Amino acid sequence: MSEKKVYVEEPLQEVLLEGRWQWSSGAATFRSHNASTGEPFCDEFPISTWADCDKALNAAQRAAVALRQVPPETTAFFLDLYADKLEENSTMLCNMACYETALWFTPRLALAELPRTADQLGQAAAAVRDGSWKMATIDKKLNIRSMLAPLGPVLIFGPNNFPFAFNAVSGGDFAAAIAAGNPVIAKAHPLHPITSINLASLAHDSAKVAGFPLEAVQMLYELSPADGLRMAGDPRLAAIAFTGSRAAGLALKAAAEKTGRLFYGEMSSVNPVVILPGAMDERREQISKEFVNSSLAGVGQFCTNPGLLLLPAGEPAEAFIAAVARGFQQDPPGVLFSAGVRDGLVNNVQAMVDAGAAVVTGGQAVEGPGNHFQNTLLRVSAQHFLSHADVLQREAFGNAALAVVAQSPQEMAAVLETLEGNLTGCIYSHTGGADDAAYDLLAPVLRQRVGRFLNDKMPTGVAVSPAMQHGGPYPAASHPHFTAVGIPASLRRFTRLDCYDNVRPHRLPEELRDKNPTGAMWRNVDGAWTQEDA
């Protein structure tokens, strides 16, 4: 088969399996669509059968063995080269992603998301070269040594809302799994297969140039639900990384854990924003604008979109709600990713209305080309919320938010205590300390229910920082200890702890020998972190 350099329209696209582009075993196909118009592109993408999955799993097992012999510099070179190719092909990639998602070419894709994706690949390469993330630990007295080591084949499910930064074949999970020494089977999202085939082509070309095992990067476009669940529980797989809906995530989680596969999922979050009375009096207009901008960014299709607003009752709160409603009305509804996203938003908003929430503005789908839903603000009293918390805290993925009005800080605390786990949570308070008593009451409650806790800042942006936590208590994520963003912490999801007891020095991994292999790697030697030889 000829190798793909960039995407071109063909009757049927190939899958990336066993280190080469080849025809899929699947006869069924699907098409990509222009998200702004709903018009399909003429090319077709295969829906793989179990035969493709079986090939991918066998190849990933072979790649896992091959990767054990790959020098760190080769892996780092591959990641750096791939990052360079993303930047060199930025215009082509962003054009395709713009068509498939309706996200703005600039600033969203070309100036923010694609550079971020290249940067996190570069950060992963730097972590590989440094090696400190492996947490090598040496007990010289007992001659016991341990370090984090590759886990094995990782299956990554990419989401619909980040065609680059969370794409299964380029995003943070991909960078982390590869940097940790694992082969990746990427399950592309069916809403942007053209973007994904371009990314996979660049990754494949980079691997060839770097001398990186070609079977370590594979990609399928779509599977039947039954084959996806079967694959998640296959013993040849080590772990699954998933970003997407709660229903799909929980099904994959059950299938994986039934056979002992590790599952790292990001699944659901309403990201509560609490505004205290002093902050409301001090800078109500500023905060209302920040909330509108954060809620409608990307048409609300961010996993950190603030979907629940908790306010103190009174005239300032009424003025705040009115200001947010005006902001929602003045901003034309953006294009949603798909009819499925629109229909899910319709259903979830209606469920909250049926549970007693009042529509302040919006609440309806918009007819016309593409998929639109009115910018929607709902409201409910805290007392009513407490009686229907299971429905009223459901994630309405898209441009919709619920305002909850409480009579006292104690009622606010009661609302927070009913919340499930979330990715983020924020409290706005008076800069002069007028809200300190209420803050001291609410902060400990909210802190237990979120992965990333913010003050006086909307949660939409997620920085690629070593200190970042992009995860949280269930069901925001499947495990509160791990993050999908932030290197080196994100690498540790895809590792196991290998221990060597009384193993002869020449048989040890280089990282655990007395001599520091790089001179810069941090290792714990007899209880102290050091860069010196042991």
Instruction: Supply the residues annotated as catalytic.
Output: 266, 303
DSSP, collapsed to helix, strand or coil, labels residue 410 as helix
One-letter amino acid for residue 412 of the chain: M
Q: Which of 456, 461, 452, 460 is nearest to 275 (CA)?
A: 456
> What one-character DSSP code corresponds to residue 477?
B
Burial-class residue 519 by CB neighbours within 10 Å (0-12, 13-18, 19+): exposed
> What one-character DSSP code corresponds to residue 358?
E
CA distance 302 to 494: 25
Q: Which of 220, 207, 213, 214 is nearest to 47 (CA)?
A: 220
Token digits of residue 447: 């802190």
Residue with tokens 């909850």: 404
Terminal-residue alpha carbon distance, the chain: 51
Three-state SS across 36-58? CCCCECCCEEEEECHHHHHHHHH
Q: How many residues does the chain have?
A: 534
Q: What angle do CA 192, 198, 204 make, to 5 degrees?
A: 130
Residue 351 · residue 394 · CB < 8 Å: yes
Strands 144-150 and 495-501, by their bridges, are antiparallel
Side-chain-facing half-sphere of 459: CA atoms under 13 Å: 31
Q: What angle do CA 187, 192, 197 make, to 5 degrees?
A: 65
Share in percent of the chain as helix, strand, coil (round to 5):
40, 20, 40
